[in-house]
Amino acid sequence: MRVAVVGATGLVGTKMLQVLAERNFPVSELIPVASEKSVGKKITYKAKEYTIVSMQSAIDAKPNVAIFSAGGSTSLEWAPKFAEAGITVIDNSSAWRMDPDKKLVVPEVNAEVLTPNDKIIANPNCSTIQLVVVLKPLHEKYKIKRVVVSTYQSVTGTGVKAVNQLMNERKGIEGEMAYKYPIDLNAIPHIDVFLDNGYTKEEMKMTNETKKIMGDESISLTATCVRIPTIGGHSESVNIEFENDFEVEEVKALLSKTPGVVLHDDVANFVYPMPINAHDKDDTFVGRIRRDETQPKTMNCWVVSDNLRKGAATNAVQIAEYLMEKKFI
């Protein structure tokens, strides 16, 4: 496979390269792409140096697949040009997610929607990905009516500037601010821009993307998204109301057998998911599963996943693996 990684020098792009190497994706030729100011610079992949090229040079190299992680405006401009050249694009930005003509894919949940004709495929929002991996088997068995989710999201979701802000604050160093407020020893209930309805774009992404990925507009979902000073991954407190009743032990058994999900639920021994344990892993971890005692057919759980891996890079590479397995690329 000839593989282009667009945004190869960024936080997610670097993780893409790491995941491609770790999963032994069959890269016969790597084409790293970044902004014009980075063209000509070198990156290392599997102990070999590669030169960063421009967008047009990447198209001219005719890769089989291009994995984008370079922001929405770049994707809107360049993904169609790659697609017109017959290159399959897997895009990590929000640019194409809610486009009715583009597939929004989490392989464990809805890979079957993909066809050989899909030339621009959207990678969902990081907090949505880890949520739907857990919701899918529960929806199939109990039918979800409503989800209330509060997220506790890592600074890595903002990028290297935010990581630097956190680390500078820890050291007492003044530096560039990614956020309006200090992030260390703080929690900021504001991710992405505020919309007219009082929700942030991140919160509405979770609502809209979940319905599209699950293929069910009847699922009601409301979210509050919060940035916290962690590195290892995003955490989510999730309250789920079903149409059909459940047994807690049955839910645990079901999730423990779900691909991509790891059950960490043994409160007697203080076992529950935490970002420090999810860091640099591809799985989604779930625990604190318990019945909501305030209303029937409702449960609470706690979901954690590394937002740079399953929430971005790993999910994109898994899409590429599925396309390759089906001989779509």
Q: Which of 126, 139, 225, 301 is catalytic?
A: 126
- Whose tokens are 């992949």? That residue is 45
Please give the DSSP secondary-structure letter assigned to residue 313. Answer: I
Tokens at residue 247, please?
A: 């047994």
Q: Which of 9, 327, 307 is nearest to 158 (CA)?
A: 307
Q: How far apart are CA 282 and CA 285, in angstroms?
A: 10
Q: Which of 139, 190, 225, 234 is catalytic?
A: 234
The contacts of residue 130 (CB under 8 Å, 6+ apart) are 234, 236, 284, 303, 304, 305, 307, 310, 311
- Whose tokens are 């979902």? That residue is 221
Q: How far apart are CA 136 and CA 112, in angstroms?
A: 14
- How does DSSP assign 233-279, residue by residue? -EEEEEEEEESS---HHHHHHHHHTSTTEEE--BGGGTB---HHHHT
Q: Burial code of 7-46, b = ≥16 C-beta within 10 A, e = fewer? A: bbbbbbbbbbbbbbeeeebebeebbbbbeeebeeeebebe
Tokens at residue 86, please?
A: 């017959």
Catalytic annotation on 126? yes
Catalytic annotation on 234? yes
The four Cα atoms 80, 82, 86, 89 give a dihedral, to 10 degrees, of -80
Residues taking part in catalysis? 126, 234
